[in-house]
Structure 1
């Protein structure tokens, strides 16, 4: 005697999704790639294992990459106002090399007289600091 297969509606009683996974997937046309000819098959089923953010990491890497951390003059003003740089005498003393910065950039205007110690600085930044009465001391590279 041939065993008859039960109907799906009776087999799935008690299962709130009836074999379709998450309830949200079966509601409208969003999960199926659209309605009709929408998207021209491009968005139908894309691989879920595509490496996101790794598209351009192809090629050679520099052997000794130079990691420079720059700081602008306007950020220096904020550091003084927040109390991260202390005043010594008439001017502020900022050892930016000890704070992890390697280069001084010229964006902003110096509000205070600052004596700065750093590895490198742009010419315009040095001119601005000197015009405000400060001084920039460049560390010699070892």
Structure 2
């Protein structure tokens, strides 16, 4: 019957234990460094072939002084939360008409997504055409907050442009 050694006796007497040459299993010299070491030097061929996007930067970042932060709010969210805002003292109700200043809450644009069931007077810097129409159909009004946003400027900002984006939720 054949004699079978235990696993701990495996590779005894072979000097390298199955790792090839004596130096190949010591340190990281055989593989050219540990991990991503040398990827900008001697391992560049592998990086350029198998990871072409590793060092790639595409495009540019716009200067922060140019990028405008637009905080938007949708009408549907405002209509759902207007009674809670009155209870918290943020909005007011007079004769069945709610009034709220959204610029004090940090919003600068009102969007027209959602349904309006309450009559609301909103003070805000800019708004969309659909938001204005829905509020006026419900018996409310939009008051432009800043002097720099006169009627012509507000209409200019209500068009379909790059400012029509945002989460539209209370946070």
Could you tell me how far apart the structure 2 residues matched to 1:87 and 1:141 are?
Answer: 23
Deviates more, 1:60-69 or 1:86-95: 60-69
Could you tell me how far apart the structure 1 residues matched to 2:120 and 2:110 are?
Answer: 13
- Structure-1 residue corresponding to 2:93: 88
Q: Secondary structure at the match of 1:64?
A: coil
Is 1:50–2:54 an aligned residue pair?
Answer: yes
Give the counterpart of 2:66 among 55, 58, 64.
64
Structure 1 residues 114, 59: CA separation in 2 closer, same or farther (over 3 Å shift)?
A: closer
- Does the 8 A contact of 1:102 with 1:120 survive in 2? yes
Is 1:78–2:80 an aligned residue pair?
Answer: yes
Structure 1 residues 91, 59: CA separation in 2 closer, same or farther (over 3 Å shift)?
A: closer
What's the TM-score, normalizing by structure 1?
Answer: 0.57
Deviates more, 1:112-121 or 1:86-95: 86-95
Is 1:127–2:128 an aligned residue pair?
Answer: no
Could you tell me how far apart the structure 2 residues matched to 1:56 and 1:130 are?
Answer: 45
What's the TM-score, normalizing by structure 2?
Answer: 0.48
Q: Secondary structure at the match of 1:84?
A: helix
Could you tell me how far apart the structure 2 residues matched to 1:98 and 1:59 are?
Answer: 30
Equivalenced residue count is 106
**Post-superposition CA distance 1:52-101 (Å, at most 9, x none):** xx8544265474221111111112123225x1344422222221111111
- Deviating above 3 A after TM superposition, structure 1's stretches of 4 or more consecutive aligned residues are 44-47, 54-57, 59-63
Structure 1 vs Structure 2 CA RMSD:
3.7
Q: Unaligned regions of 5+ residues in structure 1, if any?
A: 10-17, 20-40
Structure 1 residues 61, 87: CA separation in 2 closer, same or farther (over 3 Å shift)?
A: closer
Q: Unaligned regions of 5+ residues in structure 2, if any?
A: 1-12, 19-24, 27-45, 149-171
